[in-house]
Amino acid sequence: MCHNLYANVMKSFLKYTLATICGLVIFTFIAGIFFLLSLAGMAASGSTTPSVKSNSVFVLKMDGAIQERSEGGTPLDFLMAQSDMSVMGLDDILASIKKAKEHEDIKGIYIEGGLSEFDSPATAQQVRDALKDFKKSGKWIIAYADNYTQSGYYVASVADSVILNKTGMIELKGIGGKREFMTGLYEKIGVKYQAVRVGKYKSAVESVIRKDMSPENREQTEAYQGGIWKHMLSDMAESRTKLTAEQIDQLVNDSILAFAAPDDYVKGGLIDALRYPETVKATIKGMLGTDDDINQLLLADMIALPDKESDKGDEVAVYYAYGEIIDQQTSLFSTEHNIIGKETVDDLNKLASDDNVKAVVLRVNSPGGSAVASEQIAHAITQLKTKKPVVVSMGGLAASGGYMISAYGDYIFAEPTTITGSIGIFGLVPNVSELVTGKLGVTFDGTKTNKYTDFEENLVLTKDNAQEIKFMQTYVDRGYETFLNLVADGRKMTRDAVHEIAQGRVWLATDALPIKLVDKLGSLDDAVKKAAELAKLDEYHKKSYPEPAPWYQQLMDMSEKKGTYLDGELREVLGEFYQPVLNARRDMQRNRLQARLPYLLNF
């Protein structure tokens, strides 16, 4: 009897325990659904159109990283007010400045902070140009920062009043610096990089095969750095009317700006006043003519304001192609945006078949990458052109593979400080035979059915691979000829004429204009206008592509973004060595045939 009683008790216990567990699972599932729905509702309500009170000020905080395009926040970002943001999109900033110009209740812009990280000089230049255009409306701009970086000051210098903290500093020092050459390190550990390339200026391989810059690389680098600096000096002098470009340049050469007392900045005409931050509010209230609290609109508020021309007339699509060009996404932790070959081709094909899209602007900001993926994207552009006009707008970089995907545009615009050209191909394969065999004692043997079955193994693991290197050079030469012919076809030039200005040379857009690599210096808006003109549109609006994923997809993707934390930790630990380590890792994943800039440009 006791046994039966015990069995019945255990049976009841298990039944109720299992029922409880099932209930908890079902409850958690249902609660999760309600949580997601409520999250979506709150996100939607948080993104409703903000009210713009009279006498409002657009507060543009310039303390984050600014890249080509905003990736779009998740609902959690909006709920946590993260959209005024550690990473901002150039597209959002430019659109917001334009809205502020056109809205009668927004009286001015307050630029707060000067430590923003711009992904290129052209990005900073475009923000500055938009602010300069804003002032044409008769409205004012005030800038304040505890400290200004060089790019931060360059942008802020357009303001009617530039204010610095009483203990602050301005970091003006010119453009340039040192880059790492890893050859000596690789020699010590027994790794030798085998480089094959075409073009005496194609210096992408120099960091792993030389210990210094080649004369050709030094020539091209000094040319574009000098051109960018000259442009920045001219812009700053135009706004800071007490100084000429030559005077600012001399101040930088004398090094007083790096060590000057704050009062010297006022005396030299670089800023208008030294203030503590709490007193800046009084200045803004004076501009508004009020003693009331300041009605502030942040970047997130401006993004949420409707665009007056968002749905008028026909559609001009603006397709953003930015980042390195790759065959497929392989990195486990990098958060950088890439141009993925097949995905981009599919997107362009969809735009070609979309009857609502009357013209396409390809917005390119890329140092290049996989030559194979670049050529496939270029081919997709030729197919797109048969159905509607394609105009290219170059951002900070449109070089090497970035130029390859641009060359077939019906018309090419570039910013004055765009880096472009670099028409060349290279291949880079590490040889570890000295490390693996010479130092570690590992040897290799095997069988094969054909003479070059172990082609890639020989490239990496053996010293006796002269024939394999020759094959690689032939492969690279063929890729270069393809590149030359593609550019010649797209730009209506001869192959020899392209070769004369190619050979891997990097050009500043102002120098690329007279050699016909670009058609005109101008902005993204200029490119949109040209596309509408070619499509013969009387009334039009622009729409950005690729479109952001819906909120629920972003939530699902959040689990795949766990690498963001790891990426941040690696940056913190490795510091200035983060990028070289990341590049070495990427070299193992990249396509063997590369149409990519010499190195990450340091401004």
CB contact burial 476-505 (16+ within 10 A = b; e otherwise)? beebbebbbebbbebbebeeeebbebbbbb
Does residue 234 have an active-site annotation? Answer: no
Catalytic one of 151, 400, 422, 433: 400
Q: Please, which residues have CB within 8 angstroms of residue 373's CB and are 6 or more apart in sequence?
A: 325, 326, 327, 339, 340, 341, 342, 344, 401, 591
Comparing C-alpha atoms, which of 287, 276, 209, 483 is closest to residue 372?
A: 483
- The answer for 289, left when phi > 0, alpha when psi is -120 to 50, beta otherwise, is left
SS (H, E, C) 409-426: CCEEEECCCCEEECCCEE
Give the dihedral sign, CA 214/217/223/227.
negative
Q: b/e string for 81-116 if b means 16 or more Cβ within 10 A?
A: eebbbeebbbbbbbbbbbbbbebeebbbbbbbbbeb
CA distance 165 to 277: 7
**Could you tell me the two tokens for 109?**
């812009």
Distance CA 600, CA 586 (A): 13
Among candidates 75, 80, 79, 81, which has minimal Cα distance to 40?
75
**Pairing state between β 192-198 and 425-431:** antiparallel
Catalytic, 202? Answer yes
Measure the CA–CA gap between 520 and 408, rounded to whole angstroms.
Answer: 15
Closest CA to 360 of 345, 344, 342, 348: 348
What strand order describes the sheet that includes 117-118?
87-89, 65-67, 117-118
Please say whether the beta carbons of 307 and 91 come within 8 A.
no
Quote the CA–CA distance of 278 and 336 in Å, as a whole number: 37
Query: To 5 degrees, how large is the angle CA 243–CA 244–CA 249?
Result: 100
Nearest-5° Cα angle at 597, 425 to 153:
165
Q: How far is CA 73 from the centre of its chain?
A: 17
H helix and E strand count, the chain:
25, 23
- Residue tagged active-site, from 202, 388, 530, 542: 202
Residue 388 near residue 360, CB atoms below 8 Å: yes
- Name the residue among 113, 546, 54, 462 with its Cα closest to residue 293: 54
Structural tokens at position 207: 């960091």
d(CA 253, CA 247): 10
Sheet holding 338-340, edge to edge: 192-198, 425-431, 593-596, 368-370, 324-326, 338-340
The enclosing H or E element of 344 equals helix 341-353
**Alpha carbon distance 115, 144 (integer Å):** 11
Which residues are marked as active site?
202, 400
